[in-house]
Chain A
Amino acid sequence: DAGVTQSPTHLIKTRGQQVTLRCSPKSGHDTVSWYQQALGQGPQFIFQYYEEEERQRGNFPDRFSGHQFPNYSSELNVNALLLGDSALYLCASSLYRAELYEQYFGPGTRLTVT
């Protein structure tokens, strides 16, 4: 049973560019959440997708957007990249109506903005 997978593993972009990160959830899961972990910080919630709609959003600007596909996989898009967007981006999958809201994480995508 494949767990949560993310691609790419690493990415280097230049300020002002746009980036797309991808996530495939654990088999059987229907919900994908994205988190950003900056250096020295805990993961910060960006947003959550269920039934192809954004259900919750953290305190991130509109430059951060996402999408969920019918097969439950998801993309995170960041436009007009800033140096401060350099971070590890984690994807987590879960079942929307699970009682304990357990989230299963992928290994992350390391984004470096130069």
Chain B
Amino acid sequence: ILNVEQSPQSLHVQEGDSTNFTCSFPSSNFYALHWYRWETAKSPEALFVMTLNGDEKKKGRISATLNTKEGYSYLYIKGSQPEDSATYLCAFNRGSTLGRLYFGRGTQLTVWP
């Protein structure tokens, strides 16, 4: 069983707050780490895919970092807005089963106006 852990499970913040959440994954046989944003009743939307240790990706107010040696990734949201409210999922690609994603349970973010 391959465990991908996300924390916290849920998060409530005020508009304008910055926030971050964690994804931890097995550091062996690593290939790629994916972050998805999933709004209720919509399709999960790909945010980032990262492959190299030390990778940093940014899209607007959202950024992510990757540490493959210790097996974790952080997702940061700067100046949260109500439209950022969603579930953020991370998913791990192993080198031996490349087409298969192993997902965490997600972090549910609610941003209050």
Question: Contact residues of A with B, CB < 8 Å?
Answer: 3-4, 31, 33, 35, 40-45, 48, 50, 55-56, 58, 90, 92, 94, 96, 100-108
Report, as a range, how many residues of chain B touch the other chain. 20 to 34
Contacts of B31 in A (CB 8 A): 101
Q: Distance in Å from the Cβ of A36 to the closest Cβ of chain B?
A: 11
- Select from chain B the residue with minimum beta-carbon distance to A106: B43
Are A100 and B100 in contact (CB-based, < 8 A)?
Answer: no
Cβ 8 A contact of B105, one of A4, A35, A40: A40
Q: CB-CB contacts of B35-74 with A at 8 A, as 1s and 0s?
A: 0100001111010010100000000000000000000000
Cβ 8 A contact of B103, one of A42, A48, A107: A42
- Select from chain A the residue with minimum beta-carbon distance to B87: A42
Contacts of A107 in B (CB 8 A): 41-43
Cβ 8 A contact of B102, one of A33, A45, A106: A45
Q: Distance in Å from the Cβ of B44 to the closest Cβ of chain A?
A: 4
Are A101 and B32 in contact (CB-based, < 8 A)?
Answer: yes
Cβ 8 A contact of A55, one of B6, B89, B99: B99
Cβ 8 A contact of A56, one of B6, B99, B104, B105: B99
Contacts of B49 in A (CB 8 A): 100, 102
Contacts of B36 in A (CB 8 A): 105
4 cross-chain pairs, A with B, having the tightest CB-CB distances, nearest first: A42-B103, A105-B44, A42-B105, A43-B103
Q: Distance in Å from the Cβ of B58 to the closest Cβ of chain A?
A: 17
- Select from chain A the residue with minimum beta-carbon distance to B44: A105
Q: Distance in Å from the Cβ of A9 to the closest Cβ of chain B?
A: 9
Contacts of B105 in A (CB 8 A): 40-42
